Copies of this chain bind each other. A is one copy, B any other.
Amino acid sequence: MKKKLMKALVYHGPGNKSWEEKEKPVIQHPSDAIVRITKTTICGTDLHILKGDVPEVVDGRTLGHEGVGVIEETGGFVTRFKKGDHVLISCITSCGICEYCRKGIYSHCENGGWILGHLIDGTQAEYVRIPYADTSLYKIPDNSDEEALVMLSDILPTGYECGVLNGKIEPGSTVAIIGAGPIGLAALLTAQFYAPSEIIMIDPDDNRLSVAKKMGATKTINNHVEMATEKVLSFTQNKGVDTVIEAVGIPETFELCQSLVVAGGVIANVGVHGKSVNLHLEQLWSKNITITTRLVDTSSTPMLMKTVQSGKLNSKQLITHRFKLFEIIRAYECFGQAAKEKSLKVILSND
């Protein structure tokens, strides 16, 4: 039987990618579903892969772990979805039965976790195979705003779970978010679920800070031209903030977090770090603080869908550029030159 072909964005080693023909995925296990992609997007992690920072990604791998689409085919074990269903794809694949999944830590699923566009072919393609479809896809109403929902594949649960939930943001509390890229902004949007009294956004890019202001930041600090610690202390009667969210991933910003947190507060790390950092236990041992790390579990996805559908969360604000799926190489350029292009999230449509 002749294999069917489709187009996909394929990784060919550090610095190399191409939009090319490859075989359309097929059901490999009865819990799989094949999804025709209607909308997808590009993540900062995809840029890391292209730099060669994620060596598990092999030559020939289709990239991408975000998307919305339509079920094309389901394996025999799939009970919650059928051909034609409109679905949101979670960046985390969850088997639903291992010890970690039963605890809600889907990111450490023994059979899944982050595998799309990483250990198996991903979503920047016309079709994608999703293992454990029953517990890794979410049905969406047919009249849904697909663009708003693509933001829920990864970036919004990441900002919410790793930043806001771990950061224990509460009504009236004070928050600083370091990094106003898409993830930091996702934390900013979802932090507002809890009515904090201050959300201070810190970033060296004035454009991103002005975006943050529009999205609800109460204060902004350009930490290339201002002393961030001094300003935050001046905003908080010299105490520091209740929650600091690290959304960059370098030693300098983690250092800054430690100088901003109040006694009894939380540092919630979201950034992907490539190096170890210096932890000032000689000062912090007696400060009653909590530091958290987390790979997104996407356990909050059903809740986030409700907040989008009820209008509490305007996730589309994060989208700055739109392309056709076949224009993905140009879309990568736009996304990769974020400061110049003033890009946040880009949408790729497969119409």
Mask of A90-101 contacts with B, CB within 8 angstroms, 1/0: 000000110110
Given contacts A172-B307, A295-B286, A278 and B281 within 8 Å (CB-CB): no
- Given the complex of chains A and B, what is the CA–CA distance between A244 and B11 in angstroms? 40
Nearest chain B residue, comparing its CB with the CB of A97? B134
A97 near B80 (CB under 8 angstroms)? Answer: yes
Among the 9-residue stretches A14-22, A179-187, A266-274, A321-329, the one with 4 or more Cβ atoms under 8 Å from chain B is A266-274
A77 near B80 (CB under 8 angstroms)? Answer: no
Q: How far is the CB of A249 from chain B (nearest CB, A)?
A: 7
Residues of B within 8 A of A299 (CB): 102
B107 near A288 (CB under 8 angstroms)? Answer: yes
Residues of B within 8 A of A288 (CB): 105, 107-108, 293-295, 297
Residues of B within 8 A of A194 (CB): 171, 193-195
A238 interface residue per 8 A CB criterion: no
Q: How far is the CB of A191 from chain B (nearest CB, A)?
A: 11
A276 interface residue per 8 A CB criterion: yes
Residues of B within 8 A of A302 (CB): 99, 102, 172
Interface residues of A in 213-265 (CB under 8 A from B): 218, 249, 254, 263-264
B264 near A274 (CB under 8 angstroms)? Answer: no
A309 near B197 (CB under 8 angstroms)? Answer: yes
Interface residues of A in 51-96 (CB under 8 A from B): 76-77, 79-80, 96
A97 near B135 (CB under 8 angstroms)? Answer: yes
Given contacts A269-B281, A285-B273, A195 and B293 within 8 Å (CB-CB): no
Given contacts A285-B249, A293-B289, A264 and B105 within 8 Å (CB-CB): yes
Q: How far is the CB of A109 from chain B (nearest CB, A)?
A: 11
Given contacts A77-B77, A193-B194, A306 and B274 within 8 Å (CB-CB): no
- Given the complex of chains A and B, what is the CA–CA distance between A102 and B97 in angstroms? 10
Residues of B within 8 A of A338 (CB): none
Q: Choose one: B31, B77, B292; the contact of A289 (CB below 8 Å).
A: B292
Given contacts A291-B290, A310-B218, A279 and B282 within 8 Å (CB-CB): no
Name which of A172, A274, A289 has the most chain B CB atoms within 10 A of its CB.
Answer: A172
A287 interface residue per 8 A CB criterion: yes
Q: How far is the CB of A104 from chain B (nearest CB, A)?
A: 8
- Given the complex of chains A and B, what is the CA–CA distance between A312 and B193 in angstroms? 11
Q: Choose one: B76, B171, B279; the contact of A312 (CB below 8 Å).
A: B171
- Given the complex of chains A and B, what is the CA–CA distance between A39 and B13 in angstroms? 57
A206 interface residue per 8 A CB criterion: no
B193 near A263 (CB under 8 angstroms)? Answer: no
Beyond the given A172-B302, A172-B304, A197-B309, could you list 13 further A-B residue pairs with CB under 8 A, ordered by the A residue number? A100-B263, A102-B299, A102-B302, A107-B286, A108-B263, A193-B194, A195-B307, A195-B313, A197-B307, A276-B278, A284-B293, A288-B297, A289-B293
13 CB contacts below 8 A, A to B, read A99-B302, A100-B264, A103-B264, A171-B194, A171-B303, A193-B195, A194-B195, A218-B310, A249-B285, A254-B279, A275-B282, A281-B293, A285-B293
7 shortest A-B CB distances, which residue pairs? A172-B306, A197-B310, A286-B295, A273-B281, A172-B303, A193-B195, A279-B279
